[in-house]
Amino acid sequence: MPEKVTSDHLRSSGLLLQIDPTQCANIVEGRKLAEASKEQSHEPHRVPHLFATFNHAAQQAQQWVNELAKDLGWSEPSAYRLMRSVLRTLRDWLSPAETADLSAQLPVLVRGVYFDGWKPSPEPACERKKRDFITSVRASFGYDDEIDFDIAINAVFTLLERHISHREIVQIRSSMKKSLRELWPAD
């Protein structure tokens, strides 16, 4: 029959370490805190905080759409479609670095709309003429001969000027041809 191993045997062989009772208590307390932290991250009282954050993001996006709808006298769905069309066209006309810089200042849900379907390329889109920009927005929005797209695009750029830093707006405008800069609000 094998000999029973006791703590005295382990101590004498050097296999049992001497631990100060205070250290042991700290280790146990640390484990308890880690376990409690894991449990709390899955507790229902944390969920309302996540919904509050999501609700705030939705409110910010809705505020942008409401402002644009009011500026143009349009319905909210039409204002949203226009904002989406202009932002995506603008995104495709900017360099990847400038696209990322602008996105950093957009509300979270608007940023999602901005990047949806993006296929970055090292070169910005085509010739970058005003006519081509308007044609791209019109194609994305859907043709409507009652809409003056110069005015509509200007309204989106005005919205951006209200919410994006002046420095970023200057960088975006300077990356565009003069004819396209005419769509932006006057300085």
The 10s digit of each residue's pLDDT in 148-164 is: 999 999 999 999 999 99
Whether 61 is covered by a domain: the verdict is: yes
Secondary structure string (H, E, C) spanning 84-117: HHHHHHHHHHCCHHHHHHHHCCCCHHHHHHHHCC
**Confidence at residue 23, expressed as pLDDT on a 0 to 100 scale:** 47
Range of the domain at 30: 7-42
pLDDT top residue among 49 and 68: 68
Same domain (yes/no): 132, 75:
yes
Same domain (yes/no): 32, 104:
no
Same domain (yes/no): 62, 109:
yes
The 10s digit of each residue's pLDDT in 89-107 is: 999 888 888 899 999 999 9
Mean pLDDT over the full length of the chain: 78
| Mean pLDDT to the nearest integer, 27-49 | 52
**Confidence at residue 14, expressed as pLDDT on a 0 to 100 scale:** 47
Domain count of the fold of the chain: 2
Does 127 have pLDDT greater than 70?
no
Same domain (yes/no): 20, 99:
no
Same domain (yes/no): 12, 94:
no
Q: Which CATH number goes with the domain that contains 66?
A: 1.10.490.110
